[in-house]
Chains A and B, each alone.
Chain A
Amino acid sequence: MDVLSGPVAGVFRAPDVDYHAFAPELVLVAVLVAVLVVDLVLEGRGRRLVGGLAGIGLLAAMVPVLTLAVDGANRSMVGGAYVVDDFALVFKGLFLIAGYVTMLLSSDYLADDDYYEGEYYFLLLSSVLGMMVMASSRDLISIFVALELLSIPAYMLAGWRKRDLKGNEATLKYYLLGVFATGVMLYGMSLIFGITGETVLTEIGSKLQGPGASLPLVSLGIVFVIVGFAFKISAVPFHSWAPDTYEGAPTPITAFLSVASKAGGFVALMQLVFIGFLGRDDVWQPMFWVLAALTMTVGNLIALRQTNIVRMLAYSSVAQAGYMLLPFAVAGDLAKGPGAAMGPMTTYLLIYAAMNLGAFALVLAVARKTRSGEIASYGGLFEYAPGLTVLMSIFVFALAGIPPLGGWYGKLVVFKTLLDANTPWAIVLGVIAAVNSVIALYYYASVAREMWMRPVPDGDTTPVRVPAGLTAALSLCAVATVVIGVYPQVVARFGDLAVFSLLP
């Protein structure tokens, strides 16, 4: 805000722009415009071409992310509102890869569908762009703009099957609750701005450690902002849109929402809480405690009685968000400072992305043959698709947290954080989480039982034909899940990176 609040007199001087720091976003903008133009010119004849272009664009945006990572310098721009550091780069990488996997899942799904429109890729890229901006946003305004940039295209993508009543319903619920959450979050931001007079998070952070920080209005503002993002990460009791939207949306978009959109919400929360609201852990810590306990328990209990695989995975992803919230609930009690809670969360998010994208990719592959989302339609999958059965078993057991598959390491670091905090509340939360892990095992294992032990429901054992894009996505996720499980230092390194750079 320095530029704007200064004296009006004088010559306007354009702010210095560090183009290297903006390069990933600029590449993405160029590609999404190109996608729109190419589709316009080819008028739907170049379906594969447009999809390929979008995929290549996402990989191309990865190049500047890598050069920035090699460069290693923290770059702060626009008066500290936009920061490119290791934390931002780790998440930019995650968003680009998650976007690329979604692209792989989408290409055949869209080409086979009656609903093909080139704008699909444009919207998907816009949403990824919003997430990239979110990872660097350290200012209330840019967080708001990034949130809308990632959400508005997602509303449209969720209702992509526009002549399908379920699709309509999915998008209406997502839209109404999403916008409601935005309104609540903005009102919270206005209160915080009113008390601190700042929009940059580091400034808010220092103001909230000084006098006046304990005003009830500040607490209300913090609560409202966190509630706004609790919708985004589908934490109970703000989760009601998630299962319906996940079921009605096209499955690739469901995968995208459950991984990338959720990660976007967590990134925003981490930045807000660990930079802006750091001094007020008396407000956010009990709140996250309740949210985490409710999210895990309700998510898992409702997942138990689902018969549709997508709804089951939706509730499972609600429950997984609960595990990811655990470090927030004890962050203030950590000996190494609240920032030490960020590593476990980042690690869990990265692992969760691999296994959840994989599970949805598999749902897509199986649905190509069975045309059904019922868990019962997975009966006897082993008889005609042994490869897919093994992969699905990998993903569900990874989600359940069974070693040596990816998920166990995420659970380990999260539980370790609870033990590090070592307060009675942390221990109680740990017990709740442990009980939940056992409950979760039941519904994950029931999918495996269906596949390995039950007969084929309709006796049709023609093999499943899996197109190349889907195969690539499946192998990428499976390799990541297994490698992380066997050699967890890979993600632990990223988790550590994301912590140190953010701490003052």
Chain B
Amino acid sequence: MSVDYSWYLFLGAALFTIGAYGLLIRRNPLVMFMCIELMLNAVNLTFVTFSRMLNDIGGQVVVFFVLVVAAAEVVVGLGILVSILRRRPSATVDDISALKG
């Protein structure tokens, strides 16, 4: 028994929505990073599903690029977070508001 492709696409869309929504409403920077990961993995799932549907390996190649780049991106993000939390422990994004106007 195989599951219809569209379920994977719906799961991808749901994960993407949860990630995007979480990024917009959560205030803990670490949770926001997790939401970003959720969004990127939703993209990966969608690419792999389409790749299987179309029988085209190209979509899975994209996933490798996304995985590698996402890892690099999160490393930079965590570095930024460390430099902020050194200055002010337990900061949420609402506390980081010196710049406005």
Residues of A participating in the B interface, judged by any CB pair closer than 8 Å: 1, 4-5, 140-141, 144-145, 148, 152, 155-156, 159, 162-163, 165-166, 168-173, 175-176, 179-180, 182-184, 186-187, 189-191, 193-194, 197-199, 243-244, 247-248, 306, 308, 311
Q: Which of B36, B59, B84 contacts A183 (CB 8 A)?
A: B36
Question: What would be 17 A-B contacts, judged by CB atoms less than 8 Å apart?
Answer: A141-B61, A156-B79, A159-B80, A166-B99, A169-B96, A180-B39, A182-B73, A183-B39, A186-B66, A187-B43, A187-B46, A191-B46, A193-B47, A243-B101, A244-B100, A247-B99, A248-B99
CA distance A147 to B83 in the complex (A): 25
Give the complex CA separation of A1 and B60 in angstroms.
Answer: 11
**Within 8 Å CB of A159, what residues of B?**
80, 83
Near A by CB (< 8 A), chain B positions 1-39 give: 9, 12, 16, 19-20, 23, 29, 32, 36, 39
What chain B residues lie within 8 Å of A145 (beta carbons)? 65, 69
Residue pair B59, A193 in contact (C-beta under 8 Å): yes
Q: Tell me which of A152, A168, A244 contacts B87 (CB under 8 A).
A: A168
Residues of A within 8 A of B96 (CB): 165, 168-169, 172
* Interface contact B65-A141, CB-CB below 8 Å: yes
Instruction: Tell me if A's interface is mostly helix, strand, loop or mixed.
Output: helix
Name the B residues within 8 Å of A197 (CB-CB): 50, 54, 56, 58
Cross-chain pair count, CB within 8 angstroms? 132
Across the interface, which residues of B come within 8 angstroms of A311, CB to CB? 101
With A and B bound together, what is the CA distance between A159 and B99 in angstroms? 14
Closest 3 CB pairs of A and B: A194-B50, A183-B39, A244-B99
Q: A145-B65, A187-B43 are in contact. Are A172 and B50 (CB under 8 A)?
A: no
Residue of A nearest to B96 (CB): A169
Q: Shortest CB–CB separation between residue B37 and chain A, in angstroms?
A: 9
Contact A172 B80 (CB under 8 A): yes
Selected contact of B62 from candidates A172, A193, A243, CB within 8 Å: A193
Given contacts A144-B69, A172-B93, A190-B47, 7 further A-B contacts (CB under 8 A): A165-B88, A165-B98, A169-B99, A175-B76, A175-B80, A176-B29, A183-B19
Candidates A1, A173, A244; contact of B58 at CB < 8 Å: A1
Q: How far is the CA of A169 from the CA of B77 in the complex (A)?
A: 12
- Is the Cβ of A172 less than 8 Å from the Cβ of B29? yes
Residues of A within 8 A of B76 (CB): 152, 155-156, 175
Contact B57 A190 (CB under 8 A): no
Residues of B within 8 A of A186 (CB): 40, 43, 66
Which of B49, B84, B93 counts the most A-chain CB atoms under 10 A from its CB? B84
| Contact indicator B80/A180 (Cβ below 8 Å) | no
What's the least CB distance linking B29 to chain A, in Å?
Answer: 7
Rounded to whole Å, the gap between the CB of A459 and the closest CB of chain B is 28
- Look across to chain A and name the residue whose beta carbon is closest to the beta carbon of B5: A194
Whether the pair A169, B20 counts as a contact (CB closer than 8 A) is: no
* Residue contact A141 to B80, C-beta cutoff 8 Å: no
Tell me, rounded to whole Å, the shortest Cβ–Cβ distance linking A286 to chain B.
23
Closest partner residue, chain A, to B36 (CB atom): A179
B87 touches A163 (CB 8 A): yes
- A residues in contact with B16, CB < 8 Å: 183, 187
Residues of A within 8 A of B50 (CB): 190, 193-194, 197
Interface residues of B (CB under 8 A from A): 9, 12, 16, 19-20, 23, 29, 32, 36, 39-40, 42-43, 46-47, 49-50, 53-54, 56-59, 61-62, 65-66, 69, 72-73, 76-77, 79-81, 83-84, 87-88, 93, 96-101
C-alpha spacing A172/B23, complex, angstroms: 13
**Identity of the chain B residue whose Cβ is nearest the Cβ of A145 in the assembled complex:** B65
* Contact in complex: B93, A144 (CB < 8 Å): no
Of listed B23, B77, B80, residue having the most chain A CB within 10 A: B80
Q: Is the CB of A168 within 8 A of B42?
A: no
Chain B contacts for A141, CB-based, 8 A: 61-62, 65
Residues of A within 8 A of B9 (CB): 194
Q: How far is the CA of A221 from the CA of B95 in the complex (A)?
A: 35
Given the known interface contacts A184-B20, A244-B100, the answer about A179 and B77 at a Cβ–Cβ threshold of 8 Å is yes
Indicate whether A180 sits within 8 Å of B58 (C-beta atoms), given known contacts A165-B98, A191-B46: no
Please, which residues of chain A bring their CB within 8 A of the CB of B29? 172, 176
Rounded to whole Å, the gap between the CB of B15 and the closest CB of chain A is 10
Query: Measured between C-beta atoms, what is the minimum distance from A402 to chain B in Å?
Result: 27
Given contacts A168-B96, A187-B39, contact A148 B73 (CB under 8 A): yes
Complex Cα distance A1/B50, Å?
A: 15
Contact status B84-A172, CB under 8 Å = yes
Contact between chains at B46 and A194 (CB < 8 Å): yes
Which of chain B's residues have a CB closer than 8 A to the CB of A169? 96-99
Query: Smallest distance from the beta carbon of A223 to chain B beta carbons, Å?
Result: 14
- Measured CB to CB, the nearest residue on chain B to A302 is B101
Complex Cα–Cα for A214 and B77 (A): 38
B40 vs chain A, min Cβ distance (A): 6
User: In this complex, what residue of B is CB-closest to A247?
Assistant: B99
Which residue from chain B places its CB closest to the CB of A198 in the assembled complex? B58
The chain B residue with its CB closest to the CB of A166 is: B98
Tell me the complex Cα distance, A166–B96, Å: 9
Q: Which residue of A lies closest to B50 (CB)?
A: A194
* B61 near A1: Cβ-Cβ < 8 Å: yes
Interface centre among A141, A175, A190, A199 (most CB of B within 10 A): A190
